[in-house]
């Protein structure tokens, strides 16, 4: 089932997620629906906040992207398509000391708005899968960046919060316009 993606201007995007405590059929269904919604929107990651649920849960799938990055999962290097799409519950990200790189990011809650965000290249992320089993992924490049972007969402942090002032300044009119449009749509919906 496709879910509606929350647009910038809605409060839930600024909320910190509650920890996932039940690894049940309901979570499995949420995972399926979030993955379908992410594919439909042609995204590579989607956080629960973006479908209106302040929860420590996100999905990531980089299949089909240029595999110009490195990773280990639980200390091994399984083929990528074996663990994609990924369900990431209760993640804790640790930034591994490495170069900060700027890269143009987008976000499904900010249609057609893009801007450079500087992030650490390498991360280590502890998380739980759909069954509640603990894992550790270390990743750099697009995978490391995507996980950082999604885990930020789970903590109520948006990519515009991470942009340098001069980058944000350029897209601020589009961001304001989007916020106004979202608020207008919310008003219509409650009428």
User: Residue 24 has what DSSP assignment?
Assistant: S
CB of 149 to Zn ion, least distance (A): 6
CB of 46 to Zn ion, least distance (A): 8
Task: Determine which one of 10, 105, 138, 150 is catalytic.
Answer: 150
What is the distance in angstroms between the CA of the first residue and the CA of the last residue of the chain? Answer: 26
Q: Which stretch binds Zn ion (CB under 5 A): 4-12, 67-75, 84-92, 104-112?
A: 104-112
Nearer to Zn ion, 38 or 89 (CB): 38
Listed residue (61, 17, 184, 178) closest to 111, CA to CA: 178
CB of 178 to Zn ion, least distance (A): 13
Nearer to Zn ion, 137 or 146 (CB): 146
User: Residue 180 has what DSSP assignment?
Assistant: H
CA Rg value for the chain: 16
Token pair in block for residue 128: 């739980």
Instruction: Give the pairing type, strands 71-73 and 57-60.
Output: unpaired
Is 150 a known active-site residue?
yes
Q: In what order do the strands lie in the sheet with 134-139?
A: 45-47, 57-60, 86-105, 115-128, 134-139, 71-73
Among 107, 130, 151, 167, binds Zn ion (CB under 5 A): 107
Nearer to Zn ion, 136 or 171 (CB): 171
CB of 147 to Zn ion, least distance (A): 12
Residue 88 engages Zn ion in binding (rule: CB under 5 A): no
List, by residue number, the catalytic residues: 150
Q: Which chain residues interact with Zn ion by CB under 5 A?
A: 107
């Amino acid at each position: 089932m496709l879910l509606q993606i929350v647009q910038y201007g809605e409060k839930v995007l600024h909320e910190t997620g509650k920890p996932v405590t039940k690894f049940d059929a309901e979570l499995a269904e949420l995972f399926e629906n979030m993955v379908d919604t992410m594919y439909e929107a042609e995204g590579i990651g989607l956080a629960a906040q973006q479908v209106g649920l302040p929860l420590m849960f996100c999905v990531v799938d980089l299949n089909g992207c240029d595999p110009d990055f490195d990773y280990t999962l639980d200390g091994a290097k399984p083929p990528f398509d074996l663990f994609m799409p990924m369900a990431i519950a209760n993640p804790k990200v640790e930034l591994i000391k490495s170069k900060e790189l700027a890269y143009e990011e987008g976000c499904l809650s900010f249609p057609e708005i893009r801007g450079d965000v500087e992030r650490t290249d390498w991360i280590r992320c502890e998380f739980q899968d759909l069954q509640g089993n603990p894992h550790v992924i270390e990743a750099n490049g697009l995978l490391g960046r995507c996980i950082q972007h999604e885990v930020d969402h789970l903590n109520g942090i948006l990519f515009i919060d991470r942009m340098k002032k001069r980058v944000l300044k350029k897209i601020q009119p589009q961001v304001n316009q989007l916020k106004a449009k979202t608020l207008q749509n919310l008003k219509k919906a409650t009428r």
